[in-house]
């Protein structure tokens, strides 16, 4: 049986993250097109890249190879009305509920449990 290596990589930092905001479909906060040159040759040419549909995930995958396969099941969790909002603009009780309860949908979107089921 042939071994398979799975490497999970989180997307590069975004302007929203730097501000402490929940994500939207923003691009990464770097010159991602030139950053790929520093990673050239680190991975096999037969590398299979799979990523979510967001711009930041496609850009990050592009650092490791060409033509990543976009899988909608790997999309970010639906943050409902929190999408793109600054963390300071979120109701504290709702935020605490969401942080402490993986089944919470305080924001009107998907729970962490739902995201895990979808991605699994």
Q: Are residues 60 and 91 in the same domain?
A: no
Q: Which of 72, 92, 112 is the last residue of a domain?
A: 72
25 contacts 55 by C-beta, under 8 angstroms: yes
Q: Tell whether 6 is covered by a domain.
A: no
Q: Are residues 37 and 59 in the same domain?
A: yes
Of the candidates 87, 82, 80, the one whose C-alpha atom is nearest the C-alpha of residue 18 is 87
Q: Could you list the residue range(s) of the whole structural domain that residue 93 is in?
A: 77-120
pLDDT for res 43: 64
Pair of tokens at residue 40? 């050239």
Pair of tokens at residue 60? 């990050």
How does pLDDT run across 59-77, given as a tens digit for each residue?
Answer: 888 888 778 899 999 999 9
The pTM assigned to this predicted structure is 0.77
How does pLDDT run across 6-65, given as a tens digit for each residue?
Answer: 778 888 888 888 888 888 888 888 765 566 555 656 666 667 889 999 999 998 888 887
């Amino acid at each position: 049986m042939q071994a398979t290596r799975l490497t999970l990589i989180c997307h590069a930092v975004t302007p929203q993250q730097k501000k402490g905001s929940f994500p939207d479909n923003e691009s990464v906060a770097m010159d991602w097109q030139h950053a790929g040159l520093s990673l050239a040759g680190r991975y096999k040419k037969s590398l299979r890249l799979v990523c979510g549909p967001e711009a930041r995930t496609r850009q990050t995958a592009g650092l490791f190879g060409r033509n990543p396969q976009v899988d909608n099941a790997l999309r970010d969790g639906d943050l409902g009305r929190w999408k793109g909002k600054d963390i300071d603009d979120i109701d504290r009780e709702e935020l605490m509920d969401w942080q402490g309860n993986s089944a919470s949908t305080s924001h009107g979107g998907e729970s962490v449990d739902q995201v895990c089921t979808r991605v699994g």
